[in-house]
Structure 1
Amino acid sequence: MTDCDFLVVGHGIAGATLAYVLRERGHRVLVYDPGQHNSASNVAAGLMNPVAGKRFALTWRAAELLPFATAFYRELGQRYGQAFFTETPIFKLFSSLEEQNAILARSADHPWEGFMAGLATADPDLAGVHAPFGGAWLRGGGHVAVRQLLAALAAEGTRDGWLRRETFDWTRLATATTGAVYAGQVRARHVVCCEGAVAAHNPYFSWLPLTPNKGEVLDVTCAGLSTAQVLNRGAYVVPVEAERFRVGATYRWPPFTEGPTAVGREELAARLAVLTDLPFAVVDQQAGVRPAVRDRRPLVGPHPTVPCLSFCGGYGSKGVMLAPRLASLLADCLEGHGEMWPDASLQRYNALQPANVI
């Protein structure tokens, strides 16, 4: 029998950050993950953007989430000798003169706290970028090499024995007030579900309002396009290396087909063509399925009726920014000396739980 304090199911960005935080606090952690190369976390460009959407709205809790995430990924980079996080300005292009005027009017009230670095009312003359109406310069964000980060953690987990590349079977979990036993082989004080969109079919958590949302991304080469910033207008363009960029992302609600599609490729190529007049070539296309929630807030915290279970997910397209802080908060809760933010707690949906949860 293997004994552990916490059994974490899933090693995407949510599960990996939680497992790391718990291990750093001295807990015995065991992680189960099947190792899917096309998981939402592995496909993601890892963008951390303080101002999102067509309305230029400040991202939820950005003032706390962004600095925490930045420090977290830099710490991981130092530990593993890799530069996982790249801090870079984000240039959010205006789509019209009307949008430019609207944002200029709103800027007088400083709605973006300290994340707005400046406003350009004319084309800033970035190499290869078509921005006739100017745009907004954002600071404090950047992007994370998520696939490389998860690979580094997984390599350590495989070497040290805390990561098992297996699909977790929830029907083989026996729960009790004091803990749980899995498959008659693993005994854990607490089990945390971090399965991403797959959790919509979890017998303990299927009542949560979690909806799969498919996203596709392109990797393109484009000689001459500026790599000094992330571009954002209808799509993000994240510099990956010299002359190579990741362009994303599409949003598809069910029903959707699995894997990359010609429609997704055409949509993203068209969005990129709005941002640059330079020729580009698509060298790769990937698709993943995000775990989305109806109110666009994460779902984190203990199961309402099974004391040894918790949930950590529902991050949607903001997982890289959300994961570090929420992992720390959940770890506090699991240790018995903290509370989850009410607007992130799954308790706001407790009324949806059926009476016959296994």
Structure 2
Amino acid sequence: MTVCDFLVVGHGIAGATLAYVLRQRGHHVLVYDPGQDNSASNVAAGLMNPVAGKRFALSWRAAELLPYAATFYRELEQRYGQPFFTETPIFKLFASLEEQNAVLARSADHPWGDFVAGLATTDPDLPGVHAPFGGAWLRHGGHVAVRELLAALAAEGAHDGWLRRESFDWNRLVTDAAGATYAGQVRARQVICCEGAASVRNPYFSWLPLTPNQGEVLDVECAGLSTAQVLNRGAYVVPVGGAQFRVGATYRWPPFAEGITAVAREELAARLTVITDLPFTVVRQQAGVRPAVRDRRPLLGPHPTVPSLSFCGGYGSKGVMLAPRLAQLLADWLEGHGEIWPDAGLERYHALLPASVI
């Protein structure tokens, strides 16, 4: 029988970062993941944006999460000798004079001012960019090559034997006060669910208020469009090398069609034409399903009645920014020190736990 400290189910951005942190602390970790090419993490543009949405809202705990994530991804770059993280300005285009005035009034205040590098009240003449009302330059953001990062971690896992490319069957898990046994073959002190949107079918965690949310992205080629920054107005436009950009993303709540759709392609193309007048060619379209939570906060911590189980996920579209710090937070708790943030803990939803849940 294989004996490990922690069994992590899922190797998207949440599970991969948690498994890495635990291994770095000297724990024996085993990871199960079937290896889906169209997982939400593999499809994502990996954007880390301190300010999001039409209301110019500051992202949750951005002041703490962003620098921690940047340091974490640079550490991985050193370890694997590959570029994963690009720190780059984000130019948020104003859609109207009204939006411009609203942002001007708000941006100088703390904490927004910490993330606003500058404001343009007229078109800044970026190559190929149509910005008649100007925009806000945001700092401390960037983007992560998530697919490449997960591939590097997975290659190490396959080589060292801690990653098993298998689906995990929760019905074959037997728990007790001291840990859990899986399929009569693996014994772990703690099992952590990091399955993303698939958690809605998990017999232990299906009570959590997770809703699958489908997002589609386009990879486009657009010669002449500025690559010096991420562009954002109704869609993000992230430079991914050469004259190619990732444009996203759509948000579809259930019921939604599986896979890519013509409707999403037209929607994203229309959003891009608002940002640039340059011609572009769609070279790839992808779809993934995010794990969204009703209060837009992550879900982290132990199962309320099964002590050998924990949960890590619900990151929605903020996975690359959330994952490193929350992995450290959960690892601390698993080691017996530190506390889960109340606004991220499962306790806020314990009232939803039905009596029939294992």
Using structure 2 for the length normalisation, give the TM-score. Answer: 0.99
Q: Give the 3-state SS of the residue equivalent to 1:197 in structure 2.
A: helix
Residue in 2 that maps onto 1:82: 82
Give the C-alpha shift of residue 127 in structure 1: 0.2
C-alpha distance in 2 between matches for 1:269 and 1:243 = 16
Listed as ranges, the matches of 1:223-238 within 5 Å are: 223-238=223-238
Q: Deviations over 1:10-60 (max 9, x none)?
A: 000000000000000000000000000000000000000000000001100
The answer to whether the 8 Å contact 2:107/2:113 transfers is no
Residue in 2 that maps onto 1:64: 64
Residue in 2 that maps onto 1:93: 93
C-alpha distance in 1 between matches for 2:262 and 2:303 = 40
Q: Deviations over 1:109-135 (max 9, x none)?
A: 344141110000000000000000000
Change (3 A) 1:113 1:341: farther
Listed as ranges, the matches of 1:94-109 within 5 Å are: 94-109=94-109
Residue in 2 that maps onto 1:50: 50
Where has structure 1 moved over 6 Å in runs of 4 or more?
none
C-alpha distance in 2 between matches for 1:237 and 1:109 = 27
C-alpha distance in 2 between matches for 1:296 and 1:108 = 26
Listed as ranges, the matches of 1:258-277 within 5 Å are: 258-277=258-277
Q: Give the 3-state SS of the residue equivalent to 1:316 in structure 2.
A: coil
Residue in 1 that maps onto 2:160: 160
C-alpha distance in 2 between matches for 1:108 and 1:336 = 41
Q: Give the 3-state SS of the residue equivalent to 2:292 in structure 1.
A: strand
Change (3 A) 1:176 1:319: same
C-alpha distance in 1 between matches for 2:344 and 2:134 = 35
C-alpha distance in 1 between matches for 2:108 and 2:316 = 31
C-alpha distance in 1 between matches for 2:81 and 2:297 = 33
C-alpha distance in 2 between matches for 1:18 and 1:108 = 36
Q: Give the 3-state SS of the residue equivalent to 2:311 in structure 1.
A: strand
Residue in 2 that maps onto 1:318: 318
Residue in 2 that maps onto 1:178: 178
Q: Deviations over 1:303-329 (max 9, x none)?
A: 000000000000000000000000000
C-alpha distance in 2 between matches for 1:111 and 1:337 = 30
Give the C-alpha shift of residue 346 in structure 1: 1.0
C-alpha distance in 2 between matches for 1:103 and 1:151 = 39
Q: Give the 3-state SS of the residue equivalent to 1:154 in structure 2.
A: helix
Amino acid at match of 2:121: T
Using structure 1 for the length normalisation, give the TM-score. Answer: 0.99
C-alpha distance in 1 between matches for 2:110 and 2:309 = 42
C-alpha distance in 1 between matches for 2:348 and 2:84 = 34
C-alpha distance in 2 between matches for 1:283 and 1:75 = 32
Amino acid at match of 2:323: A
For structure 2, the 5+ residue unaligned runs are: none
Q: Give the 3-state SS of the residue equivalent to 1:238 in structure 2.
A: strand
Residue in 1 that maps onto 2:204: 204
The answer to whether the 8 Å contact 2:107/2:116 transfers is no
Residue in 2 that maps onto 1:252: 252
Amino acid at match of 2:174: A
C-alpha distance in 2 between matches for 1:153 and 1:281 = 32
Amino acid at match of 1:244: Q
Which range moved further: 13-22 or 102-111?
102-111
Q: Deviations over 1:141-174 (max 9, x none)?
A: 0000000000000000000000000000000000
C-alpha distance in 2 between matches for 1:25 and 1:164 = 21
Amino acid at match of 1:81: G
Q: Considering only aligned residues, what root-mean-square deviation do their CA atoms show, in Å?
A: 0.6
The answer to whether the 8 Å contact 2:214/2:256 transfers is yes
Change (3 A) 1:308 1:113: farther
C-alpha distance in 1 between matches for 2:228 and 2:10 = 34
C-alpha distance in 1 between matches for 2:181 and 2:14 = 23
Residue in 2 that maps onto 1:134: 134
C-alpha distance in 2 between matches for 1:33 and 1:20 = 15
The percent of aligned pairs where both chains have the same amino acid is 84
Give the C-alpha shift of residue 107 in structure 1: 2.6
Q: Deviations over 1:272-307 (max 9, x none)?
A: 000000000000000000000000000000000000
C-alpha distance in 1 between matches for 2:28 and 2:357 = 28
Aligned residues: 358
Give the C-alpha shift of residue 104 in structure 1: 1.1
Amino acid at match of 1:289: V
Amino acid at match of 2:181: V
Amino acid at match of 1:309: L
For structure 1, the 5+ residue unaligned runs are: none
The answer to whether the 8 Å contact 2:222/2:243 transfers is yes
C-alpha distance in 2 between matches for 1:177 and 1:289 = 34
